[in-house]
Amino acid sequence: MKNRNRGKVSLEWIVILCIFSFALGTFLSNRIWVVPESEDQIMPIGRRPEILAANSGDCATEKDKEELIGEFSKAHEAIESLDSSIAKLRMELPSTENSRKIGKFENFSTILHPGSNETRKKTFMVIGINTAFSSRKRRDSIRETWMPQGKSLLQLEEEKGIVVRFMIGHSATSNSILDRAIDSEDSQHKDFLRLEHIEGYHELSAKTKAFFSTAVEKWDAEFYIKVDDDVHVNLGTLAATLARYRSKPRIYIGCMKSGPVLPLKNVKYHEPEYWKFGEEGNKYFRHASGQIYAISKDLAKYISINQPILHKFANEDVSLGAWFIGLEVEHIDDRNMCCGTPPQCEWKAQAGNVCVASFDWTCSGICKSVERMKDVHAKCGEDAATLWNALI
């Protein structure tokens, strides 16, 4: 009876063992598992730092994405803003290098190019007379009439700020007989502006860009003028005309016209890119006739800065007009810049309304200009004092 009682566990011990087992189970559970905030997830203790780090990384990634999208949106807005004003910036805020070279100056002073021994003078206007290797007689006819020579040419620059030069490039062959002939002529008259340009009739648009770019590099002028070597010009009247517009920043002045676009080959003014101007029979946009035109400083700078990307059409005057399409440019149609030869310009001179320039439309210049330039000058030329007394 006594031995049978030994094999039995008392009720007290059973209660104690139950409590101990419960406590031990609770202890071991806390060591292995942690109940997360989410009701449907169980997170092992050993992996808790890794999972927390992963969750933290996910949050950081989402945050980075939001920040990246925000930065992208800001950059996109900035690009659109810049894109909308790029033309104006090109005209009014040239690159730092060009700003140093083409700054604004108030007086007729001499400015030294940075890093160069060449000087750049402040002038009122620079006139480039377009000429060719074969046009020696045309040049001489101009020298004998409306273009001052020798000391008078230098005096005109120093006292009135008016620069007049024959502009010409070079031949395709280096140091050819044509180039040497121009060198010899220039040493005699000192009235040439040499361009980095290969001469050719179908390269007038490129020559125009080269002229404005070279002139802007060499002179700080208020106006730049291109004129053909078979046109008569009254320099004093031209200066007085341009002086009226010196307060305006972007002036394009000449005899504005709109001729037909010619798609047919083998005609004088054939336009290979006629399809760009619309349907057959369309006309060009309004532009200054190529015999003579003037542009203000800002437009000459614009051409100089952007010349690599300015498209050249077959006709030089059309090309110039195209470069200004879309810009804030004031087109001035001055019919005094395209008077006919005598008797028209003669009548106007007698009435006290001297023409700026005279030529024949039928010849796109003075017909037989070498023989007739003196006669046109005698009948249509301004008084000699007009040039030297011009208020500019």
Whether 155 is in a domain gets the answer: yes
Instruction: Give residue-wise pLDDT tens across range 349-381.
Output: 999 999 999 999 999 999 999 999 999 999 999
Whether 331 is in a domain gets the answer: yes
- Stronger pLDDT, 51 or 201, i.e. the higher one: 201
Q: What is the CATH number of the domain that holds 192?
A: 3.90.550
Instruction: Give residue-wise pLDDT tens across range 292-348.
Output: 999 999 999 999 999 999 999 988 999 999 999 999 999 999 999 999 999 999 999
Domain residues for the domain of 241 are: 102-389
Whether 8 is in a domain gets the answer: no
Whether 191 is in a domain gets the answer: yes
Q: For position 81, what pLDDT does the model report?
A: 61
Q: For position 38, what pLDDT does the model report?
A: 46
Under the banding of pLDDT at 50, 70 and 90, the label for residue 8 is low
Whether 278 is in a domain gets the answer: yes
Answer yes or no: are the C-beta atoms of 51 and 43 closer than 8 Å. Answer: yes
Whether 353 is in a domain gets the answer: yes
Whether 336 is in a domain gets the answer: yes
- Total domain count, the chain: 1
CA distance 148 to 153: 5
Answer yes or no: are the C-beta atoms of 354 and 384 closer than 8 Å. Answer: no
Whether 36 is in a domain gets the answer: no
- pTM score, whole prediction: 0.70
